[in-house]
Amino acid sequence: MIRLLAVLALLLAASPAYAHKLKLFVTQEGTEISGKTYFAGGGAAAELDGQVVDAQGRVVATLRTDAEGRFRFTPPQGDGLRVRFESGDGHMAEAVLGQTAPSAQTANAAAPPVNAATPDVDAAIARQLTPLREQLDRMESRARLSDIVGGVGLIVGVFGVYAWVASRRGNKS
């Protein structure tokens, strides 16, 4: 019984570490890249140093977040650029720039010719969508009721298996 309580205590102690998982949100606005670093609980990762790394692993730019965890930069030319931030306590978040979903590539290939007003419209839409994308990303990283119920169910199930094994041992003696 003491072993079970020790395992349960370890499981409960491990969950706060996940609450401090570093998250990275990156979006492109015209030629600039902007983003935000934050912890899974929603708190901003302020004054954090980051890097932009090319496909060969060379650092091509350094970044620093502001008090709200936000950053902005103009990326150098090249494919396979990655934005990486590391916190002092060992957490790391990384995003690859320039990746487009295949369905979006297909849709872009069939798109009508771009007129002069499109870049302004695209920029306006990007400004409006960025807060919504950030909010969705934050919501995905939160623990939901189903996660909590699933965790409790797992603990009850492990205890049930332990009780079953213990009762089987008691019957043999």
Amino acid in the structure at residue 30: G
Burial class (CB in 10 A: 0-12, 13-18, 19+), 165: exposed
Q: For 25, phi and psi rounded to 5 degrees?
A: -115, 125
**Average pLDDT, stretch 72-83?**
82
- The residue ranking higher by pLDDT, 22 or 134, is 22
Please state the rounded mean pLDDT for residues 68-84. 84
Helix, strand, coil share (%) of the chain residues, nearest 5: 45, 25, 30
List, in order of start, the domains of the chain with CATH numbers: 22-100 (2.60.40.10)
- For 103-138, the pLDDT digits (tens) are 333 333 343 444 444 556 666 676 677 677 777 766
